Chains A and B, each alone.
Chain A
């Protein structure tokens, strides 16, 4: 069965802390997406990666294709980073399969 799992489900941290969110998937894929969803619902695409590492500002995404695992890191976390972070992939068909999401809360 094609599944995407994330951990942790909920994460609360102090401002400035280094954050790691993990995503694992059941079978080989071509690309994995990291998405951010704020209260109110709109989804913003953060990264799409198929190998290695990508960085954008304080956000870093890595993927290990052999281990079927990806991580999203946030350095110097800030309260405005509070959101739900979701990983998703296609599993070789037309629909995105989403992970369950990680609700991140950064406390000032």
Chain B
């Protein structure tokens, strides 16, 4: 049983650039959720993908977008990077959120993005 792998682990980008972060899902899971964690804060929900469709979105602008692939891995894309986008980006895989009540979440180790 594989865990959740995120890549890259660290990334430095310049304001205005675009970035793509990647997340594998645990074997058997069909749902991936993305969270942004600013320094000293709790994670904030960005969006969730279930079977390649967006299945809920938090309070983030459209320049945050995502994809989920047939193997249930996922990408988070951020366009026009701003300094405030500097954060740890976490993904978590699960079964559907209703089933997550019974089966829980598996988290990745995160990608630390620094925007300069």
Contact = CB atoms under 8 A, between A and B. Distances in A.
A49 B37 CA distance: 24
B34 to A, nearest CB: 10
A12 interface: no
Interface residues on A, range: 20 to 34
Contacts, number: 60
Interface string A9-24: 0000000000000000
Contact of B101 (A44, A50, A98, A101): A50
Interface residues of B, number: 25
B32 to A, nearest CB: 11
Given A50-B101, A93-B97, A41 B56 contact: no
By DSSP majority rule, is chain A's interface helix, strand, loop, or mixed?
A: loop
26 contacts: A31-B100, A31-B101, A31-B102, A33-B104, A33-B105, A40-B109, A40-B110, A42-B108, A42-B110, A43-B43, A43-B92, A43-B107, A45-B104, A45-B106, A86-B42, A90-B97, A90-B101, A94-B33, A94-B48, A94-B55, A94-B97, A95-B33, A95-B56, A96-B43, A96-B92, A98-B42
Interface of A: 30-31, 33, 35, 40-45, 48, 50, 86, 90, 93-101
